[in-house]
Structure 1
Amino acid sequence: MDTLLMDTSVLRGRLPNGFTYYIRHNAEPKDRVVMYLATKVGSILETDNELGLAHFLEHMQFNGTKNFPKNELVDYLQKAGVRFGGDLNAYTSFDETVYQLPIPSDDPELLQNGLKVMRDWAQDALLDDEEIDKERGVVLNELLGGRGAQQRMRDQYFPMVLNQSRYAQRLPIGTKESIEGFNHETLRDFHRKWYRPDLQALIIVGDIDVAEMEKQVNILFADLENPDDAPNREEYTIPLAGKNQFIAVTDAEMPQTVMQLIIKHPEADIKTVADYRMQLIKSLFNQMAGSRFAELTRQSDPPFIQGGGSIGGFLRGLDAFTMYFAAKPGEIERGFEAVVTEFERIKRHGFTATELERAKENFITSVESSYAERDKRKSESYVESYLNHFLEGENSLGNEDRYQLGKSLIGTITLENINALARQYYTDSNRDILIMAPEKDKDTLPNENTVNNWMEAIKVSDIMPYDDNIQEEPLLDELPQAGTVISRQDKPELGVTELTLSNGMNVVLKPTDFKNDEISMTAFSQGGTSLYDDEDFLSAAYAATVVGGSGLGPHNATQLTKYLSGKKVSVRPYIAERSEGFNASSGKKDLQLAFELIYAYFKVPRLDMDVFEGYMQRIKASLANRLDDPDAVFSDTINAVLYNHNIRRTSMTIAQVDLIDPQRAYDIYKERFADASDFTVTIVGSFTEDELMPFVLQYLGGLPATDRGEQARDLGIYPPEKGLQRTVHEGQEQKSSVRLYYFGDYDYSEYENMQLDALESILNIKLIERLREAESGVYGVSASASYAKYPRHRYSFGIAYGTSPDMVAPLMASVFDEINKIKQNGPEQVDIAKFVSEQRRMLEVQLRENGFWLSHLSGSYQNHEDPAYILKYLDELNKVTAESVKAVANKYLLEERLFEFVLMPDAQ
């Protein structure tokens, strides 16, 4: 059988010591490179006295290495514009630990030091006693933050689901006891045993000289040594149990009942062309099953909140066919019957030829779209396949081979190939049934015998074949009367053209070459839900969702999905608080269809009462036990305190769902899209004006205009003038959440915005240094600033972190101490330099992205600002000084405007 070809565009090598490398030149983004170090060491290799050490060691790599002692690594990279946690990151799983470093490649010294970081991570962690002990608190807080209903239930069901294998006892986070108690030398010994070149690979993809990079890799990594007594790296798997298993677990903080049926099978390799073809067959199967379940959720009385199933990978050595659903309260049997019946229908009758045809069309569109962008692919997108080659031994197909193989194989896949999968994977052996439910429903849950009886009853029931109802009607009965351009203004410095059409609509065009086949659009018009009174608010807020989910023109939602199969197009209307509009995207081939859809959402929207009723039912079901979740109670309390229980700022209740009037929602939707004259549409991407303008004039210019000149209302919903404190006691776990906010009026300007952004960035740096690195009190902490020009000039500044209850007060004191240092002395120059570097490096990449320009241009027009400001932004960064940041901190981080919210556990 033909073996899958390996990507020839990547240079692969292996040093005499066993160290593997993958190096590829890729031009996007320009002057950037991503480096990944993969080590075949994870928690599965830990002994009983090493639990959690693979993950702990990952943390320690950022706390001191040969070339970057203590915290110098993070400090150095921040100066280069690399963000800790955002860019610089790592993960540990059962079987591997992977480190990632994206850096600029246009600075030779930085590039060389990036390689030194990789070399240090490979074998030169310092593992200093003091640093180890400091990090214990950080990891304990990570463990603590992850505790909750899901984790408590997982502890109960994992042994069964993982077939009592070693994996069930080796969760990467470890245990509280092991993290607190392991010996320093135990960690160093683990590092010596496993961080070695024969288990490691370096992946480098980016705008680099491949030959020079290979030379440097040889110089830096050739002297890595494997220990003389290196233990064998055993490969662990999960054996099949050879039996069916059942477990039901409950928790007082679980908000809904979820059921899974997991039927396990030996893992299928993807090594040959035949294997790849089988993978495509599974993908088509999953896509068609997904479409069927999407249709089920659109019923007026859907059988579950959500449900579905698919064939895919499970864990080491196993694949699985998994069915799942989230049950409506008291309807677990109904949800089970619906999901299992649908897959029984597929097993008995198969899919239809038309379903397969649509799935193939979607696949071909996806393959062609990827191939069209092959020279514009981001470097990051190549990494996963090279990681997979190193970790799993599966070849990474090159762009050309993936395209040719996909196009050639898809035509060979028959309906019988697809339908055989259900018979192969939907079996009666090695099946796990897992139920997770609220504690209060424990006595009403079915037992294993009951579920088996449900299953047997479905198997002998009459099940009709699926009826694939297809409608071929065109979206529009007739073409609209085209409009004209009445004014034009070119902005060559931005590459932007501003047009005003004869119906008053403004259209902003920015052709780009960032992608080969990506056209993105967004539109806004003043008004939104602000124009409606409180009694109509929920109808207005859900209007676009209800109408957008009801289909369009002659097609209901299911028929519209089928109508659009194989098309690279998406149009979504929205109604926000102060505006309404749409977001859209397409490729060149489907550009006209995108404009037809936009026009149809203005002119021929639908209201499908079945979709509406079903959607409302699912919302109600999802809200039934929402307040059993401590985080939901905390969030609701914050909003209630800040906004005085205003309906526009609170989470919806079941009773409020009934306030949504479908006809009123439909009428509001039509009102919002009745007048094109005050819409501004921004279009960015791979088009020429000649290609685009016929559609702009026909479909946008053909929209009706009433020139009503609306403005959004100021609803006057603001936090109190004076700050306050609130503590909420909810939750079983001994953990706390802290949310600190400053609110108030704001002197909105480009200058002020930049200073507040700088304060956010600098405070993030200082709080991580203090709360995480110095005091070991948190896993993560974030400061976030936001500001608004309309309806009033306002700002908010928030600080959020989780910690243990006993650390709430001391850490809060540390937060205020760091704030006061900035207010009294201003920030350190080194931290200002980090902010400037981060902004500069970030913008260099963003200026080559369609999404950035779409957001920037649309936001500028919405705020009545000159979008050309972005061109001088980097020069304006020089205005960020210690004094300017100090001034903005003193101006806005005022004690009287401080709101303190703390979530504490229930009293024991």
Structure 2
Amino acid sequence: PLAALLLIAAAQPGAAQTRDDLVPLDSAVRTGTLPNGLRYYIRRNARPEQRLELRLVVNAGSVQEDDDQKGLAHFTEHMLFNGTRRFAKNDIVSYLESIGVRFGADLNAYTGFDETVYILPVPTDKPGLVERSFDVLEDWAGGALFDSTEVVKERGVVMEEWRSGLGAGSRIRDRQFPVLFAGSKYAERLPIGDTTILKNANPAPLKRFYRDWYRPNLMAVIAVGDYDPDRVEALIRERFGRLTNPPSPRPRTLAPVPGHDSTLITIVTDPEEQVSSIQLIYKHAPAPLARRADYRMLLARRLYNQMLNSRLTEITRQPNAPFAFASSSYGSFVRSTDVYFLSATVQDGGIQRGLEAILREARRVDQHGFLPAELTRAKASLLRSLESAYAERDKSESGGYAAEYINHFLTAEPTPGIAWEFETARTVLPTVTLDDVNSLGRQWITDGNRVVAVSAPAGPAAGVPTAAALLDAFRRIDGETVAAWTETVSEAPLVATVPPRGRIVQETQDSVLNAVDWRLSNGIRVIVKPTDFKADEVLIRGWSPGGTSLVSDADYVEASLASLAVSRGGVAGFDAIELQKKLAGKRAGVSLGISALNETIDASGSPRDLETMLQLVYLRATEPRRDSAAFEALRAQFVPLLANRDKDPDQVFQDTVVLTMQQNHPRARPLTAAMLQAARFGRAFEIYRERFADASDFTFVIVGAVNPDSLKPLVEQWIGALPSTGRRETWRDVGLRSPSGVIEKTVRKGVEPKAQTVVFFTGETSFDPASRYAMRSLGDLIEMKLLENLREALGGTYSVQAGGALNKYPRPEYQFTVSFGSAPEKADQLWQTVLAVIDTVKRNGATPDELQKVREQQLRTQEVQLKENSYWLGNIAARIENGEDPRGLTTWTRDFVEKLTSEQIRDAARRYLDLSRYARFVLLPETER
């Protein structure tokens, strides 16, 4: 058993049971326990600045429910946003929105089998904000009201959350879980609960759950962020020290998952399932992680799965592969159980073959082990990822630390800090041997405690085997003698011949944007913005006008597939798998694309691997490897995913929406299995070469931890060497147009009692920063008001989205979208409420309170985004592409947010929400129940 192995490893020479051998708690986190048993974790961290991430963690979830409370752990979580001692009704959400905290995106909570966690990120730059936020946290912990009126209202919201999860996935899960968790309480305690109980929920059982389990000796408060730890600790002691435990507390015990000697099998088919899949689940006792020896074995587990997953991926790249995707993983499943997963997605009729294939690969490892070169690469990649995290140790986000401390409180998962992890990994990784790693499969893959879970589309085409046939596969593979794994590794340099170097012919310093603008001898423009937001991140975006618009409709499918198809072939003398091996231990990713109007080049990685990144840009643009066999493997991999797409109600609905909104234009057709089968690789490769044959009209933006002086020769060598023929292209308008007038379309697909409504308002518009900002503010207000009305007031939906965008090319147009789920019988009623909200905004704009919320949320979002490389990369690129000065980004708050008025939003509503031009789509079940 795994636990025994770890004990043996810990007892080996050099692993004596000393305090130094224990995995420590990071010294940067302050922890403590109040007299009432409440734990706390406090850490000062300035990413993001002027923010404090607060968490209330309750070590209780749906498994603690009594039989009359199924779903009420989750319902309790909802009720804590609907009336507490200090905050009536929905005032918690309203107050937090007023200080810039967005409901859902920032403020949130979740309920699991074993825990409930409340998430509260708050600003810290104004007096009283933190103290008031602790009012919220304290009320959650001990001040819930469970007002009967609010409980009745919230029934609808909880039922809509249940409804939103319905579909093939939930039906398959509901049949698999009783087998997977046979004999365990987990089998009958899904957090969403029992709808009969939810529909009739009343305060009494909710209060009982709250009283029994929301108690300080089952709670932790976590506070990570840009605030004085002494002040936070004083607040925790003051606010939470006065909480008391019940006089006779119910015992908090782990729910066991019983073992079983026989193999449990679940075979489920569903008329809406799109793919066939096999999961092998092997249950184990949780692996300890208390000592350095345990951490060493954790690294060994990662190495095993990384190497086996690399082999499985390599197999998918072969023609006629036995599976489209396959994976190996080990980890915690529920609190009392770890699992080893081995899974595969296969084409219709391929379940038996896929099962045998993944078993055969596991047996290959068992019989022959991994290769020394595989282990060397896996160690390099693993150490490089830890090294990157270590480089970012002063730039890590507060939310990431909070997540670590949640796990430490709930499961005692160690949180030693990245400095300890990196140093320990550097020390112990060299001691991990092939024997250490190879032996893991034999421990994980057992005859007992094994579950086989098969799911597939309903119907004869899926070719679902019987349970007996599945079991026979295990016996057959167990008796096989398989050949050892072989591989090809190229020792050639990444770039065989260094190309002639270009040069920078013009340099402009931009002190406003803090950037430098280079013009290269081949015509390319490069804007470089150095930042210190991340220590180990560089982002690159390049584009030139053209894209698929420059190919005929007859070649559109090939143009759309070209970048993916060509990337599967690798570059120069390296096929895709050889290239992956060549790059082991490096952080350099590059992808080229062909969008509707542009050719694109995107790259990301470490400043240490910047030259490799730029070499890959050069090679993917100039030396793509023509590999028709790789394309055939790609075709075989994706055809199974497309073959049954018409079974999925959401997919059918989406296809209808796209075709209707593009007026059945041939380029709006969804990709089908037949279209993929008919695609011509030769033409796709030609289009790729055509699109990247001339880089002279490319613009690149580079943002991150770069020094322009050291970057300059690399840019000259690799971007400056990209081919230039001097052609000046632009995109072509292919005639895609949104429909005019009013469209009402109903799609009937699916068996579940659920509806989805999507509404589009479209039209021509002016395109400028002021118009874009007005559209954004309109979306922020409409979404806020729809949440208040559709969810909180009516209980008619779980979530609603609203927002719009403006596009300049091929002609200036706007699109504003509203979407929400509901019960089928409520779809029309909720649409009428949407219309009423739109009418109110058209007449009155925003109230002073609403305007304050919109403005404050935008300011708070902007404060964080200004310290993110991705924000600057995307927005500098967008402004340049749209012919605007990117320096306007530095004054956006002053120019727009601080000047936002109710009238601006009102006028935007009148301009963009034209009730004589919209399209409403409603997805309903095929038959009414």
Q: Given the two structures, how large is their TM-score scaled by the length of structure 1? A: 0.99
Does the 8 A contact of 2:152 with 2:201 survive in 1? no
Q: Which residue is equivalent to 1:843?
A: 862
Report matched runs for 1:801-816 at 5 Å: 801-816=820-835
Determine helix, strand or coil for the equivalent of 1:202.
Answer: strand
CA-based RMSD of the aligned residues comes to: 1.3
TM-aligned CA deviation for residue 680 of structure 1 = 0.5
Equivalent residue for 1:883, pick from 903, 906, 928: 903
TM-aligned CA deviation for residue 461 of structure 1 = 2.5
Matched, 1:189 2:208: yes
Q: Which residue is equivalent to 1:111?
A: 130
Q: Which residue is equivalent to 2:588?
A: 569
Report matched runs for 1:311-322 at 5 Å: 311-322=330-341
Matched, 1:855 2:904: no
Does the 8 A contact of 2:349 with 2:461 survive in 1? no
Q: 2: distance between equivalents of 1:813 and 1:389?
A: 48
Moved more, 657-666 or 141-150: 657-666
Q: Give the % identical residues.
A: 39
Matched, 1:228 2:247: yes
Q: 2: distance between equivalents of 1:747 and 1:858?
A: 20
Q: Which residue is equivalent to 1:64?
A: 83
Q: Which residue is equivalent to 2:748?
A: 729
TM-aligned CA deviation for residue 895 of structure 1 = 1.1
Question: How many pairs align?
Answer: 908
Determine helix, strand or coil for the equivalent of 2:702.
Answer: strand
Does the 8 A contact of 2:282 with 2:450 survive in 1? yes
Which amino acid in structure 2 is aligned with residue 276 of structure 1? Y
Q: Which residue is equivalent to 1:674?
A: 693
Does the 8 A contact of 1:743 with 1:898 survive in 2? yes
Q: 2: distance between equivalents of 1:587 and 1:754?
A: 34
Q: 2: distance between equivalents of 1:796 and 1:870?
A: 23
Q: Which residue is equivalent to 1:750?
A: 769
What's the CA shift string for 1:106-144, capped at 9, x where partnerless? 123111111111111111112111111100000001111
What's the CA shift string for 1:133-166, capped at 9, x where partnerless? 1000000011111111111121112111012211
TM-aligned CA deviation for residue 512 of structure 1 = 0.9
Report matched runs for 1:700-711 at 5 Å: 700-711=719-730
TM-aligned CA deviation for residue 196 of structure 1 = 1.0
Q: 2: distance between equivalents of 1:247 and 1:9?
A: 47
TM-aligned CA deviation for residue 442 of structure 1 = 8.6
Equivalent residue for 1:791, pick from 810, 814, 821: 810
Q: Which residue is equivalent to 1:350?
A: 369
Q: 1: distance between equivalents of 2:728 and 2:413?
A: 60
Q: 2: distance between equivalents of 1:654 and 1:594?
A: 34
Which amino acid in structure 2 is aligned with residue 191 of structure 1? Y
Q: Which residue is equivalent to 2:12?
A: none
Unaligned runs of 5+ in 1: none
Q: Which residue is equivalent to 1:658?
A: 677
Does the 8 A contact of 2:806 with 2:813 survive in 1? yes
Equivalent residue for 1:622, pick from 638, 641, 644: 641
Determine helix, strand or coil for the equivalent of 1:314.
Answer: strand
Q: Which residue is equivalent to 1:215?
A: 234
Unaligned runs of 5+ in 2: 1-16
Determine helix, strand or coil for the equivalent of 2:268.
Answer: strand
Q: Which residue is equivalent to 2:345?
A: 326
TM-aligned CA deviation for residue 640 of structure 1 = 2.0
Q: Which residue is equivalent to 1:282?
A: 301
Which amino acid in structure 2 is aligned with residue 666 of structure 1? F
Matched, 1:535 2:559: no
Q: 2: distance between equivalents of 1:442 and 1:99?
A: 46
Does the 8 A contact of 1:303 with 1:335 survive in 2? yes
Q: Which residue is equivalent to 2:4?
A: none
Which amino acid in structure 2 is aligned with residue 754 of structure 1? Y
Q: Given the two structures, how large is their TM-score scaled by the length of structure 2? A: 0.96
Q: 2: distance between equivalents of 1:745 and 1:820?
A: 21
What's the CA shift string for 1:821-871, capped at 9, x where partnerless? 111222212112111111111111111111111111111111111111112
Q: 2: distance between equivalents of 1:28 and 1:826?
A: 35
Determine helix, strand or coil for the equivalent of 1:542.
Answer: helix
Q: Which residue is equivalent to 2:893?
A: 874
Moved more, 437-446 or 289-298: 437-446
Does the 8 A contact of 1:522 with 1:584 survive in 2? yes
Determine helix, strand or coil for the equivalent of 2:776.
Answer: helix
Matched, 1:894 2:914: yes
Q: 2: distance between equivalents of 1:240 and 1:316?
A: 15
Report matched runs for 1:289-328 at 5 Å: 289-328=308-347
TM-aligned CA deviation for residue 455 of structure 1 = 2.0
Determine helix, strand or coil for the equivalent of 2:431.
Answer: coil
TM-aligned CA deviation for residue 310 of structure 1 = 2.2
Which runs of structure 1 show a deviation greater than 6 angstroms over 4 or more consecutive aligned residues?
Answer: none
Matched, 1:831 2:829: no
Does the 8 A contact of 1:526 with 1:710 survive in 2? yes
Q: Which residue is equivalent to 2:537?
A: 518
Does the 8 A contact of 2:152 with 2:202 survive in 1? no
Q: Which residue is equivalent to 2:795?
A: 776
Report matched runs for 1:244-259 at 5 Å: 244-259=263-278
Q: 2: distance between equivalents of 1:586 and 1:444?
A: 44
Equivalent residue for 1:392, pick from 400, 406, 411: 411
Determine helix, strand or coil for the equivalent of 2:742.
Answer: coil
Equivalent residue for 1:435, pick from 420, 439, 454: 454
TM-aligned CA deviation for residue 51 of structure 1 = 0.8
Q: 1: distance between equivalents of 2:47 and 2:166?
A: 39
TM-aligned CA deviation for residue 721 of structure 1 = 1.5
Which amino acid in structure 2 is aligned with residue 903 of structure 1? L
With over 3 angstroms needed to count, the CA separation of the structure-2 counterparts of 1:724 and 1:808, relative to structure 1, is same
Which amino acid in structure 2 is aligned with residue 111 of structure 1? V
What's the CA shift string for 1:486-545, capped at 9, x where partnerless? 212211011011111111000001111111121111100111111001111111111111
What's the CA shift string for 1:392-440, capped at 9, x where partnerless? 1232112321111111111110000000001111122211111111121
Q: 1: distance between equivalents of 2:189 and 2:229?
A: 39
Report matched runs for 1:464-503 at 5 Å: 464-503=483-522
Does the 8 A contact of 1:43 with 1:94 survive in 2? yes
TM-aligned CA deviation for residue 313 of structure 1 = 2.1
Determine helix, strand or coil for the equivalent of 1:232.
Answer: coil
Equivalent residue for 1:35, pick from 41, 47, 54: 54
Equivalent residue for 1:460, pick from 479, 495, 498: 479
Matched, 1:125 2:149: no
Q: 2: distance between equivalents of 1:871 and 1:752?
A: 18
TM-aligned CA deviation for residue 27 of structure 1 = 1.5
Moved more, 788-797 or 174-183: 174-183
Does the 8 A contact of 2:590 with 2:616 survive in 1? yes
Does the 8 A contact of 2:276 with 2:462 survive in 1? no
Q: Which residue is equivalent to 2:655?
A: 636
Determine helix, strand or coil for the equivalent of 2:559.
Answer: helix
Does the 8 A contact of 1:860 with 1:867 survive in 2? yes
TM-aligned CA deviation for residue 610 of structure 1 = 1.6
Q: 2: distance between equivalents of 1:791 and 1:902?
A: 29
Q: 2: distance between equivalents of 1:154 and 1:236?
A: 20
Q: 1: distance between equivalents of 2:212 and 2:340?
A: 37
Q: 1: distance between equivalents of 2:303 and 2:480?
A: 27
Moved more, 319-328 or 438-447: 438-447
Q: 1: distance between equivalents of 2:473 and 2:426?
A: 42
Q: 2: distance between equivalents of 1:442 and 1:240?
A: 35
Q: 2: distance between equivalents of 1:171 and 1:833?
A: 40
Which amino acid in structure 2 is aligned with residue 426 of structure 1? I
Determine helix, strand or coil for the equivalent of 2:580.
Answer: helix
What's the CA shift string for 1:617-669, capped at 9, x where partnerless? 22221111111111111111112222233232221122211342111111111
With over 3 angstroms needed to count, the CA separation of the structure-2 counterparts of 1:670 and 1:444, relative to structure 1, is closer
Matched, 1:906 2:926: yes
